[in-house]
Amino acid sequence: MKLIDQLGLSDRVRQFRTLFSDDSNYLATPDGHARVRDASPALVAKFLADSALRERYPDDAVLCASWLAASVNAIAPDRFRHGLGADLNVELLDLLRRIDLAPFIVTRSGIERVDLNRFFANHPNFACGTRLRLFFADVVTETSSALFRLEGGIDQIAVRLSARLRGPIHRGSRVTGLHVVRDGVFIETHRGPNTELIRRDCVLCTVPFSVLRGIRLSGMTADKMAIIRDMRYWAATKIALHCREAFWERDGISGGGSFTGGLVRQTYYPPVESDPRLGATLLASYTIGPDADLLAQIPMEQRLAMVRAELCKIHPELSQPSMVCGKVMRAWGDDPLSMGAASVRWGKDSDTAEEERLLAAAPQGGLFFAGEHCSSVPAWIEGAVESGLNAVSQIDAYMQSTGVGAMVCDAGREGGAA
């Protein structure tokens, strides 16, 4: 938030309402789609049917575990969920039996459910020391009430930052190689048919490793090359619909996100911040990992039609001919500049994950690295900011210790930093 303050955006900070944060949000269950406020009986029945319990657990632990399992189902891709194995439910129960769950159980219209936001706020590290720690750390974040957005769009951060940059910004060149040498870094670039080799005393690379491993690299250690080659990335796909009106408000939904299952997975209801006569945006589908890959394989028009048809099960208004005014789709796994949405450390123990982070962020001579993949919070903007600040400190220490960067030669084509 310090960066937001420095950029003069504090007055635009608003709470981001996430999955299950509205009682009227929908949740896919074996009995069909249910409102969050009504879903507990179906979730508990499924949880018990899927669990091989050899002993009796307290009812509040079963209820809470059922909602945690629903969160896993909503957030994790299908392949990852199955990889957790059949013992997941018992693991959850064993973790929860040590916690007083009474403060987090709410009753409405005679139906009990768990307030996950409050539970995670009070027990963010409940899975610490288990194979589930990193995964549930992300679940805690994604379902937290402490998530924020910027009114007017998150791109305001980039716009404000770019306005503060000093010196020329060169666009239109494609970097095809990075070569670390004893006294600097050579950047190999292509612009049309022309190739150019630029030397810099130090270079900050924010390219995702999913892309970086596709260009020519030299002068780096074997460990660095291995982490660049092996870091795992997951795709993500979002489909947004420009609707004639925020029809979901008539259905009692004021925000938050639904888990609709199927190809759609998650659906979000952003607030209407402009003139309501201009319509409203529905984030119709948000998928990650193999689920996103599966969706991206379907031809675009067919993909949009399938998502719309699935959503009509809970939002029949979408079948009205004039309801959808426009549509936008983004598949980060297909974008040559990202080749994925974010790095993933789920399924790794804490020591392995930290070793991977340190290797990713480790400089190579005058070549430094930043991005969410180099941070303790992968996939989040906070991680990118954290790693950027760390890299700046590394560069400053490097330049002071070596005395480089004081001279810029050949009209900015030699020396200095890039």
For 275-303, what is the mean pLDDT?
92
For 45-56, what is the mean pLDDT?
86
- Cα separation of 241 and 280, whole Å? 8
Range from 61-65, 83-87, 370-374, 387-391 carrying the lowest mean pLDDT: 83-87
Same domain for 279 and 405?
A: no
**Position 96: which residue type?**
L
Same domain for 184 and 270?
A: no
**Average pLDDT score over the chain:** 90
- Cα separation of 303 and 284, whole Å? 12
- pLDDT of 405 reads 59
Decide if pLDDT at 144 tops 80. no
In a domain, 3, yes or no: no
Same domain for 355 and 404?
A: yes
Same domain for 222 and 267?
A: no
Using DSSP's 3-state secondary structure scheme, residue 250 falls into: helix
Same domain for 47 and 115?
A: yes
Using DSSP's 3-state secondary structure scheme, residue 276 falls into: helix
Decide if pLDDT at 415 tops 60. no
- Within 10 angstroms of residue 181's Cβ, the number of other Cβ atoms is 13
- Write out pLDDT tens, residues 98-109: 899 999 999 988
- Write out pLDDT tens, residues 286-296: 999 999 998 98
List helix spans (H) across 193-299.
Answer: 209-212, 222-230, 289-296
In the chain, what percentage of residues exceed pLDDT 90? 65
- pLDDT of 166 reads 85
Domain span at 174: 170-232+344-415
Same domain for 358 and 324?
A: no
1-4 contact pairs (CB < 8 A, 24+): 1/148, 3/157, 3/385, 4/150, 4/157
Confidence at 85, pLDDT banded by 50, 70, 90: low
Same domain for 228 and 357?
A: yes
Decide if pLDDT at 413 tops 70. no
Same domain for 208 and 219?
A: yes
Is the Cβ–Cβ distance between 152 and 12 less than 8 Å? yes
Confidence at 408, pLDDT banded by 50, 70, 90: very low
| 245 burial level (CB within 10 Å; 0-12, 13-18, 19+) | middle
- pLDDT of 416 reads 54
Range from 31-35, 78-82, 218-222, 299-303 carrying the lowest mean pLDDT: 78-82
Tokens describing residue 339: 């080749």
For residue 409, is it left (φ>0), alpha (ψ between -120 and 50) or beta? Answer: beta
For residue 287, is it left (φ>0), alpha (ψ between -120 and 50) or beta? Answer: beta
In a domain, 161, yes or no: no
- Cα separation of 259 and 36, whole Å? 10
CATH of residue 220's domain is 3.50.50.60
In a domain, 24, yes or no: yes
- pLDDT of 39 reads 95
- Write out pLDDT tens, residues 182-195: 999 999 999 888 89
In a domain, 7, yes or no: no
Decide if pLDDT at 410 tops 70. no
Same domain for 93 and 195?
A: no
DSSP strand pairing (174-181 vs 216-218): parallel
In a domain, 281, yes or no: yes
- pLDDT of 411 reads 34
For the chain, what is the domain count?
3
- Write out pLDDT tens, residues 153-208: 999 999 999 899 887 888 889 999 999 999 999 999 998 888 999 999 999 999 99
More confident residue, 236 or 274: 236
In a domain, 164, yes or no: no
- pLDDT of 66 reads 94
Confidence at 412, pLDDT banded by 50, 70, 90: very low
For 314-341, what is the mean pLDDT?
95
